[in-house]
Structure 1
Amino acid sequence: MKNDKSSSGKRSARSERRKSEETKAKHWAKEWLDALIWAGIAAIILRTFFFGAYRIPTPSMEKTLLTGDFLIVTKLAYGPRTPMTLSVPFTDIYMPGVNLPWVRIPGYSDIKRNDIVVFNYPIDVAPISVKTNYIKRAVGMPGDELRIDEKVLYVNGEEAETFDTYMYNYRVDIRDRIRLSPSKVREAGAELVQSGNGFHIINMTEQTAEELSEWPEVENVNKFVLPDDYDGFSRRGFNFSDGFANHDNMKAFTVPAEGMEVELTPENWHVYEDVLLRYERNLVERNGDQFIINGVETNSYTFQQDYYFMMGDNRDDSEDSRYWGFVPQDHVIGKAGIIYFSWDGENWLPRFNRIFDLIHS
């Protein structure tokens, strides 16, 4: 009997220990699950309202930002947007046809001329917040009059500020029977775009162009400007470009501003067509020189929000506002803040000298 009681007591003790261990395990698992849930919620809040991450996929902003740079984007700068769609967190999966009422929370700054801005690609066919992210420099503010004359941007009649990192295509004429080394061009920080009989088209900064002009094999270096009758870009399918077939030369136009009234004409319709139809969702009919807007015959229109004109710093290798038009205020995501990592895809090495660099205008 004593042995039976002793065995029963031992079994009871083991059972209690197992229950205690199971309770501890469940408690530990619950603690970790709670921690993961709260970490996920915190990450969603940070990503939605504070910061975003962005990778530079193309050379459109070189030499300011390099392909392979990873950026922190400050959404607080211009004001974060509350959620605009129902979507799966950290993915591009969203519920089609469901658009949430949203507001922009006030930020600590307005967009300033020459800020480097991340925004949703306006002509994507998708809800605003899930459109592709683009990054360019804001060169035209709401209400500005812009024109481009032989690659030179003019803002309100004055030549726009330029930066040493701007890149352009240059025509480089070579002396007779002398070959220009492609490797030498790359080592100088330039890119060979095209070669012809006795000349090359090279993409580079103004400083590099000056250095190349001193090479013994080089005869002349000049910016390559598209001829006046060039119309190749009118076939790209972008409405804005239909009236600006030559991105090196663009006649004067005004960037839309909230509350600004414009008189629509057949001559400026290509400039404002996307604004009225795509972004401000009006019904517009044209009858010769006359416009019918939302059933009312009128050529006068008042813009409902601010717009910006964006350009890449690599002026001849950037698909930007010169091709697809203005960036609406509601498409603005944030301001480029810091490079937290940079990867050199050609050499398969990190660019340690760029890590944690602040991004300046």
Structure 2
Amino acid sequence: MNWNIFKRKPKAERKKKSKTREWVDAIVFAVIAATIIRGLLFSAYAIPSGSMEGTQLVGDYLFVSKISYGPRIANTPLAIPFTEPKVFGIKTYLSFLQLPYWRLPGTSEVKKGDIVVFNKPDEADLEHSIPVDERTSLIKRCQATPGDTLTIVNTQVFINGKAAPNAPNQQTSYLVTTNGIPINPQIMTDFSMETISIKDSNTFEMIIPKEHLAELKSYSNIKSIITYIRSAKDPDPEVFPHDAKFKWNEDNFGPLIMPKRGWTIPLNDSTMTLYRRAIEVYENNKVAVNGKDFYINGKKADTYTFKMNYYWMMGDNRHNSLDCRFWGYVPEDHIVGKAMMTFFSTDSTKGLFSGKIRWNRIFKPIN
């Protein structure tokens, strides 16, 4: 047998790659490596809105760990890598091939208090027709995990009957009453204040960071500043589950039990109001009601057993956050990863040489 066929050719006899081939090989390797890193290890995320203000600021750029909760395998494998779901209104993915939900093992479970990046649940409706992994990414703090009972009383979150720890820099809104002299716009900017609504000519609902409250109260044109809490007697139809039987609002809510994989519930008017969306939309069942009878996929049913775990996410900027209070719990297949570190941050209201880059937030751990 001629064993020489298994020997590598001498270096001098090997065909040298062209410069073009070397560049192509390098680009292919870089794309494959970056795809693996971004898909399985971590990705970058930019804070788009003020819902986490106080903790995370608009203009923060984060590292999001996908291995913390287990990398989620893409539902839409036919997509242009490193792009948003739409570029100039054109989809960057093909939806005719969609894989079922599957997640690799992670280093931990989602815990209460974690800051989590996830896909927007209300884009699961048929009118959007968007695959799970191509839905808008959001970031909020996890307040409740599967099996927990969540209640909100006068803005305080309670989990299983115990008050949940508040985020160190959690923000809310205040009713600010002036003597008729308006607040200096520069103070609004310097204090990172925001007007949410105008109650009358001299009273405003405002988001005010806690560290500026005392100074603002000292100004001569400020008559009073009181914490704004919506009364439990003032239900909000925009709040989940959007039903008059549940007289809840963003400050007084629940109790609501988070669905847990394997949890079986009886089917009745109340449970269907609270959990029909999970059964029908997130777990892909056909639900029908005929009088007092309930049908799941064409079969009469008295109970339902959940297939997935569900979580409750809320923004730290409580009165300026569109979150689970408005569209309900987050299913596990929408979880992207855990926010770990702010690696860069910019302030769009400032110039390049007047504080645009927030140096004190670069490589800052997230908690």
TMscore range, shorter length: 0.7 to 0.9
Counting matched residue pairs gives 333
When residues 136 and 164 of structure 1 are mapped into structure 2, their CA distance, relative to the original with a 3 A threshold, is same
Partners of 2:295 and 2:101 in 1: how far apart? 30
Q: 1:79: how far off?
A: 0.5
* Aligned partner of residue 344 in structure 1, secondary structure: coil
* Aligned partner of residue 318 in structure 2, secondary structure: coil
CA contact (8 A) 1:119 1:133 kept: yes
Partners of 1:156 and 1:211 in 2: how far apart? 37
The residue number in structure 2 matching 1:259 is 262
The residue number in structure 2 matching 1:87 is 79
Matched, 1:157 2:161: yes
Q: Which has the higher helix share?
A: 1
CA contact (8 A) 2:154 2:231 kept: no
Q: 1:180: how far off?
A: 3.4
Structure 1 length-normalised TM = 0.85
Partners of 2:32 and 2:155 in 1: how far apart? 48
Partners of 1:187 and 1:153 in 2: how far apart? 30
The residue number in structure 2 matching 1:16 is none
- Matched ranges for 1:10-21 at <5 A: none
CA contact (8 A) 2:174 2:207 kept: yes
The residue number in structure 2 matching 1:134 is 138
CA contact (8 A) 2:191 2:209 kept: no
CA contact (8 A) 1:291 1:299 kept: yes
The residue number in structure 1 matching 2:104 is 105
CA contact (8 A) 1:340 1:357 kept: yes
Structure 2 length-normalised TM = 0.84
The residue number in structure 1 matching 2:364 is 357
* Aligned partner of residue 278 in structure 2, secondary structure: helix
When residues 241 and 346 of structure 1 are mapped into structure 2, their CA distance, relative to the original with a 3 A threshold, is farther
The residue number in structure 2 matching 1:276 is 279
Same amino acid, percent of matched pairs: 36
Q: 1:315: how far off?
A: 0.6
105-114 or 189-198: which moved more?
189-198
Q: 1:68: how far off?
A: 0.8
When residues 108 and 209 of structure 1 are mapped into structure 2, their CA distance, relative to the original with a 3 A threshold, is same
User: How far does the alpha carbon of each residue in 1:299-353 deviate from its partner, in whole angstroms, 9 at most, with x for none?
Assistant: 3211111100000011111110001111111111100111111111111422122
CA contact (8 A) 1:164 1:206 kept: no
When residues 53 and 177 of structure 1 are mapped into structure 2, their CA distance, relative to the original with a 3 A threshold, is closer
* Aligned partner of residue 222 in structure 1, secondary structure: strand
CA contact (8 A) 1:164 1:207 kept: no
The residue number in structure 2 matching 1:184 is 187
Counterpart amino acid of residue 81 in structure 2: P
Partners of 1:32 and 1:200 in 2: how far apart? 60
The residue number in structure 2 matching 1:44 is 35
CA contact (8 A) 1:284 1:291 kept: yes
Q: Over aligned residue pairs, what C-alpha RMSD do you find?
A: 2.2
- Where does structure 1 lack aligned partners over 5 or more consecutive residues? 1-22
The residue number in structure 2 matching 1:18 is none
Counterpart amino acid of residue 145 in structure 1: T
The residue number in structure 2 matching 1:14 is none
